[in-house]
């Protein structure tokens, strides 16, 4: 007697990804730029990954709190705290009490940190020009506006995710 053939379920094929996945392309670009910057500032300043970002944040506006620096970099305060401690030990940044709020610590560049920031600004400007080469002024303006909108939208989406998870 023949065994009845079992009916096989059709295999479900994975759904094809859209041809253009913005977040994936942006993350790839960001990772490539971050790796290049990490190598550049390790070579030029002897700074490990992440610490050059703290210097650049303080170069843009100083003094700042840990939370403000972390928010400016889109990173966790814990990560920034380690970098700031290392930069204090190297003499590139200083910590001081906020005269308006004794519980708050302000972080600023030292003279040595200001010199490192000048190197970061110069090297970063050259990289920006290389990236934007061939774009017209109007294309550059449009790109900046789009990136600002994407960043604002991503911040909003992150806040929604954090609220849903009950995390910071």
pLDDT in tens, 38-49: 999 999 999 987
The DSSP 8-state label assigned to residue 19 in this structure reads S
Q: Return the CATH architecture of domain 44-123.
A: Orthogonal Bundle (1.10)
Instruction: Name the β-bridge partners of 95.
Output: 107
Predicted pLDDT of residue 6: 62
Lowest mean pLDDT among 16-25, 35-44, 111-120: 16-25
Of the chain, the percentage scoring pLDDT greater than 70 comes to: 90
Q: What is the separation of C-alpha 128 from the centre of its chain, rounded to a whole number of angstroms?
A: 16
| Tens-digit pLDDT profile for residues 48-104 | 878 999 999 999 999 999 999 999 888 889 989 999 999 999 999 999 998 888 889
pTM: 0.75
Q: Where are the domains of the chain?
A: 44-123, 134-168
SS3 43: helix
pLDDT of residue 168: 59
pLDDT at 50: 81
What does the alpha-carbon distance between residue 111 and residue 128 come to, in Å, rounded to a whole number?
25
Angle between helices 66-73 and 77-89 (to 10 degrees): 110
Mean pLDDT, residues 111-128 taken together = 96
């Amino acid at each position: 007697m023949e065994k009845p053939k079992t009916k096989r379920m059709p295999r479900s094929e994975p759904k094809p990804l859209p041809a253009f996945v913005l977040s994936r392309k942006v993350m790839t670009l960001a990772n490539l730029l971050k790796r290049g910057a990490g190598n550049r500032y390790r070579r030029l300043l002897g700074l490990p990954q992440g610490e050059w970002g703290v210097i650049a944040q303080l170069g843009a506006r100083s003094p700042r709190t840990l939370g403000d620096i972390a928010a400016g970099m889109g990173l966790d305060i814990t990560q920034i705290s380690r970098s700031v401690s290392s930069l204090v030990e190297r003499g590139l940044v200083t910590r001081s009490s906020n005269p308006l709020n004794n519980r708050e610590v302000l972080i600023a560049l030292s003279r040595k940190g200001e010199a490192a920031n000048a190197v970061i600004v110069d090297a970063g400007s050259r990289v920006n020009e290389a990236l934007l080469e061939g774009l017209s002024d109007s294309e550059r303006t449009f790109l900046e506006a789009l990136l600002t909108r994407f960043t604002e939208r991503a911040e909003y989406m992150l806040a929604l995710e954090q609220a849903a998870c009950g995390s910071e």
